Amino acid sequence: MIRSLVFDFDGVILDTETPFFKSWQEIYQEHGHDLSREDWGTMLGSFSDPQGPYDLLEKYLGSPLDREQLRRKRLTREMELLKTETLLPGVESLLDEGLRLGLTLAVASSSERAWVTTHLERLGLLSHFECIMCAEDVQLTKPNPDLYLAVCSTLGLQPTQAIAFEDTLNGILAAKRAGLYCVAIPNPITQYQKMSEADLVVASLEDIDLEELMIKAQDRR
């Protein structure tokens, strides 16, 4: 029986990925180069500050960057862009429906805990989640299964009793390696990644009928 819904945070609950991408895109443009969505999509899902964008820009420039100075500048711009972001479509109704059906709600994120909880509190959702596992809680983040296994262990569940919601290939791989049923919701940033490892791919959380989804997840066993 399905007993829990486990959400990735960035790109599933809140579109933090578009501001993240735009802030990096602006950095590249300042240096006379472009950062494509295709290249960006390959760099997501494992770390909150991936080294791939630095590496690629240094390759283009042929010289090293002051990464810490660049990180601070880019982060300031990212925070400015994030102020306008609200919940992604379907999130609130899916959380409410999960609670109505007696399911526990959890977060499994490769981002730092302060990042996740600060945004959840701002959005008025922090109290909805019984368990939040973040980068500090495991040795290896996605695509390794540790975050999802930690959530299941904390909640006293078998992985087959939970459904994961992810938007990146690394997240999907983490959920599947842990043994969860996984729903993929690709966004404009991650749509270039292969999502074939997911059990179900939807355009939006608004498209999900939770009771039907729970039946599908139970039947796959």
Asked, as a colleague might, if the bond just before 64 is cis with ω within 30 of 0, I would say no
Catalytic residues: 8, 10
Q: Distance between CA 90 and CA 12 in Å, rounded?
A: 10
Q: Distance between CA 202 and CA 175 in Å, rounded?
A: 16
For residue 163, which of 100, 108, 214 has the smallest C-alpha distance? 214
For residue 183, which of 28, 2, 1 has the smallest C-alpha distance? 2
Q: Distance between CA 116 and CA 218 in Å, rounded?
A: 29
What six digits make up the tokens of 85?
Answer: 């972001």
**Main-chain phi, psi angles of 108, to 5 degrees:** -125, 105
What residues contact residue 79 under an 8 Å CB cut-off, 6+ apart? none
Q: Distance between CA 158 and CA 215 in Å, rounded?
A: 17
What six digits make up the tokens of 150?
Answer: 């930690």
Amino acid at residue number 83: K
